Amino acid sequence: MKKVTLIFALFAVFSIPLQAQDSDKKGGLGIRAGAGFFSFGGEDASNNDYDNRIGYNIGLYNTFFLGNSIAIEPGVFYSVKGTQNKDFANSRAVLNYVDIPVLLRLYVSDGLNIFLGPQVSFLTRSTFEGDLFGSTVSFNTESVNNTDIGMLLGVGYNLPKGLNIQAAYNYGMSPVFKNTNADVYNRGYQLSLGFTF
């Protein structure tokens, strides 16, 4: 219930219209989607043969300009993360989250910007899968933490007609697994395309 309330509160914030002074720095509500390349990071993860797994992310954001060169951008996204393991069963972890980032964007030119900000993620589903004897075997697990805290940093560029592109690094700081001292975190890159209405 707390997650639903938080998401509705963010949508209420999104309903506030705000427009930048420059037409090439368009503020307001937008939609963004893209691909993610995630794996497990941390000291304990380096002892395993983890590899990047391709997932996706899609959601809404709202850009609030605080002048011509600084903007605040909260968002709500559905993201698929996890990792791939190079073993005989091609085993993989598929972790689904609702991500809520709050980014600070600094515009270094009319379109080019760099950004940084915290992100809290709520787990919606976790599955561990493997390929055995020509079929896929999967089972759910309760061992994954329900909340993930991290940071996003990256670079973006505003294209004409409200389009924008960005590349981000997602640096997870909360352990992936419960009740363990394992130093394993969600880490990965995201490439996405957005449109501001």
Confidence at residue 16, expressed as pLDDT on a 0 to 100 scale: 47
Closest CA to 125 of 160, 81, 163: 81
Domain-located, residue 21:
no
- Report the number of distinct structural domains present in the chain: 1
- Domain contains 102: no
- Tens digit of each residue's pLDDT, the chain (197 residues): 445 445 544 544 444 444 434 445 678 999 999 999 998 887 766 666 677 789 999 999 999 999 889 999 999 999 999 888 777 677 888 999 999 999 999 999 888 999 999 999 999 999 888 887 667 777 788 889 999 999 999 999 999 889 999 999 999 999 998 877 778 899 999 999 999 99
The pTM assigned to this predicted structure is 0.81
Per-residue model confidence (pLDDT) at position 25: 67
pLDDT at 130: 82
* Per-residue pLDDT at 65: 92
How far apart, in whole angstroms, are the C-alpha atoms of residue 173 and residue 13? 26
Domain assignment present for 48: yes
What's the pLDDT score for residue 158? 92
Residues counted in the chain = 197
Backbone angles phi, psi at 15, to 5 degrees: -75, -10
DSSP E strands, the chain: 28-41, 50-51, 53-65, 70-85, 92-107, 112-132, 135-140, 147-158, 163-172, 185-196
Terminal Cα-to-Cα distance of the chain (whole angstroms): 30
Q: Is the backbone of residue 43 left (phi > 0), alpha (psi -120 to 50) or beta? A: alpha
Answer whether residue 23 is part of any domain: no
Q: Which residue range(s) make up the domain with 47?
A: 2-16+28-96+107-196
Q: What is the pLDDT of residue 138?
A: 78
CA 166 to CA 128: how far, in whole Å?
Answer: 30
Residue 46 has what pLDDT? 63
- 56 found inside a domain: yes
Q: Is residue 143 part of a domain?
A: yes
Looking up residue 153, the CATH number of its domain turns out to be: 2.40.160.20
Q: Does some domain include residue 101?
A: no
